[in-house]
Homo-oligomer: A and B are copies of this chain.
């Protein structure tokens, strides 16, 4: 736990890494990416994309905990199990290939094999992901023809990454991408990520779709442990609507092309690398929360003074997931009563007489009793595009942060007519 805290603090402080302006999943050495429209979406937006690494990258992945899992997850698990290395990640949007039975499974494996052949890589080094409508078979003629053209479209640099980020979106309004660099083992190392996700967001193991690339020299096993740890603190701490998807998947590929010593938890630069990768995941996770279906605001809930970090996390997620809290934030209503009510139903230890609650700089509750505050100042604060809810339970040293978004008319509009 001391280890995890160090990483968290490194992320919170200005850590030993720098954000690369205009950096993307193709910035780390060895990666190309791209996307195209093959015909799965009704619009002409891209719906098929891939990231290709010029060498077999050490790889790691985390998946949804939903008992109903989409077909591509099976193919991807099999690839990862074959040797912990990936050359490529292939993604389609517009169709989740979930609840599609044996045919869906065959389609996922066919996608993997077809891309492997087109790109000239082993099929057990290809990961496959899908996102979109559940329960419809893929139009495989379109997928096949898209895959055949895709390898020639993959590019280094910003353009390829942009096409890829475009290709993985569904109801998302914005592309989600980030890149940081750091010094490790005397070399410059990059860590980058791209993600999609807007609805059915309540990750419980991974998030929607997330893709991390790095040129750091790191083995699959260390990468897997780090990805799990970073996920628990970032993607698993966001919620849009409490619905955990059938398709959530986060995949990381490390090309090692930055060179230098292998990074392991024993290496003096490991913490810097861990905090950089955690930062990449946090930026993407917050971008998903802010781009939640219909959202107008990012909500950040910071809980401290809980009995443990896990307890703080459960309370933070309960607050950020409360429809009543989310509606109040949308309505710029400083309704701390709903915040303490949500905290109280989280099923975690809580002394009902010692709770402090602030909305950003405005203290509204001290020791569970209302504090007179300036309603105009609160209104002005709540009109901003980020709302911080800060809860101190004064029980112990546990702390956690969760992110979500407000509940709006547009969330209802988008989801009342998604399939039809």
Contacts and interface: CB of A to CB of B under 8 A. Distances in A.
Interface residues on A, range: 35 or more
Given A135-B336, A345-B204, A416 B324 contact: no
Contacts of A335: 418-419
A349 to B, nearest CB: 8
Q: Of residues A69, A241, A243, A414, which shows the largest number of chain B Cβ atoms within 10 Å of its Cβ?
A: A243
Nearest to A137: B370
A142 interface: no
A183 interface: no
Q: Per DSSP, are chain A's interface residues mostly helix, strand or loop, or mixed?
A: loop
Given A322-B243, A365-B99, A341 B66 contact: yes
Copies of this chain assembled into the complex: 2
B415 A323 contact: yes
A270 B89 CA distance: 64
A181 interface: no
A324 B200 contact: yes
A3 interface: no
Contacts of A327: 411-412, 414-416
A369 B99 contact: yes
A246 B200 contact: no
Nearest to A104: B369
A352 B416 contact: no
B68 A415 contact: no
B99 A343 contact: no
B341 A68 contact: yes
B337 A66 contact: no
A136 B340 CA distance: 14
Contacts of A199: 324
Given A67-B344, A242-B323, A328 B419 contact: yes
B412 A407 contact: yes
A101 B200 CA distance: 39
A136 B341 contact: no
A150 B352 CA distance: 32
Of all A-B residue pairs in the complex, the 3 with the closest CB atoms, nearest first, are: A331-B416, A134-B337, A68-B344
Given A68-B352, A242-B323, A331-B420, 17 more contacts: A66-B345, A101-B353, A134-B338, A135-B337, A200-B324, A243-B322, A243-B338, A244-B345, A246-B340, A323-B323, A323-B415, A328-B416, A331-B415, A333-B418, A333-B420, A409-B409, A411-B412
Interface of A: 65-69, 96, 98-101, 133-136, 199-200, 202, 204, 241-246, 321-324, 327-328, 330-331, 333-338, 340-345, 348-350, 352-353, 355, 365, 368-370, 407-409, 411-420
